[in-house]
Structure 1
Amino acid sequence: MTTPSNTSKLDRILAETQRERERGYREKALRMYPHVCGRCAREFSGKRLSELTVHHRDHNHDNNPQDGSNWELLCLYCHDNEHARYTDQQYFSEESLSTPKIAKATHNPFAALAGLMKKDD
């Protein structure tokens, strides 16, 4: 059984491990690519370079090929937008269990319209 203090210690260790991993591929991406957002084309330098993030094209943070083919640099805003769009796509995809199932209409309100119009003739 884990106690709250053990859980928070584990959370800190995991967070630090993730930060170290991110630092490694972020530094590589910043050396490989121009400091420009891949979506909005804003340029970043100096202190504002921290606003440029590494986005994983396949959304798998464990997929970090050395050639950088799974990375693109995005500003914070475009990165958030990209993840929101991805989340929406996953939620509303046909295969998703979360997608609301809406019954298809089978009743045709105009099926007898031709007959009704002939009665008035």
Structure 2
Amino acid sequence: MSNPKIPDNGKLDRIVAEARRQAAERDQGYRERALKMYPWICGRCAREFTRENLRELTVHHRNHNHDDNPADGSNWELLCVYCHDNEHSRLTDHTGGSALTAEDAQPAATGNPFANLKSLLKRDS
């Protein structure tokens, strides 16, 4: 049985090594790369961020393709969560659907509901 007052150095070393491995893995992600590359300021509303509220700063993909992550960061911009939501809402409004389903959208209607309106109006007179 182990003594609870004596630390298990092997276990502590494994925990520290795992934490360092996870930090290095996160540093390879595009968010961490963007945060190192750009100032911590929202690209739309110019709100400034600190370590305390950095979780509210997101990386927006300008072309809406999350797999397009060039090393120079040219497809990224830092946006606060509010501006990021607004940007995606604007895309939804523009395409009539979400960005994920824009390419699967139904073709536009070709019928004209007012085609016979003139004859209907003449009939009453």
Q: TM-score, normalised by structure 1?
A: 0.62
**CA deviation digits over 1:29-56, x for unaligned, max 9?**
0111111111111111121111000000
C-alpha RMSD of the superposition: 3.1
| Cα contact 1:35–1:73 (8 A) shared by 2 | yes
| Cα contact 1:91–1:98 (8 A) shared by 2 | no
**CA deviation digits over 1:59-98, x for unaligned, max 9?**
11000000000000000011111111112222268x9418
1:68 has 2:73 as partner: yes
Task: Indicate the SS of the match to 2:84.
Answer: helix
Matched ranges for 1:41-52 at <5 A: 41-52=46-57
Q: 1:101: Cα distance to partner?
A: 7.0
- 2:118 maps to which of 86, 108, 111: 108
- Is there any run of 5+ residues in structure 1 with no aligned partner, and where? 1-19, 117-121
Task: Indicate the SS of the match to 2:96.
Answer: helix
CA distance in 2, matches of 1:61, 1:91: 20
Matched ranges for 1:79-118 at <5 A: 79-91=84-96, 96-97=105-106, 103-106=112-115, 107-108=117-118
| Structure 1 pair 76–99 and aligned structure 2 pair: CA distance change class (3 A) | farther
1:28 has 2:44 as partner: no
Q: 1:99: Cα distance to partner?
A: 6.2
- Is there any run of 5+ residues in structure 2 with no aligned partner, and where? 1-24
User: Paired residues, what number?
Assistant: 93
Q: TM-score, normalised by structure 2?
A: 0.60
Equivalent in the alignment of 1:53: 58
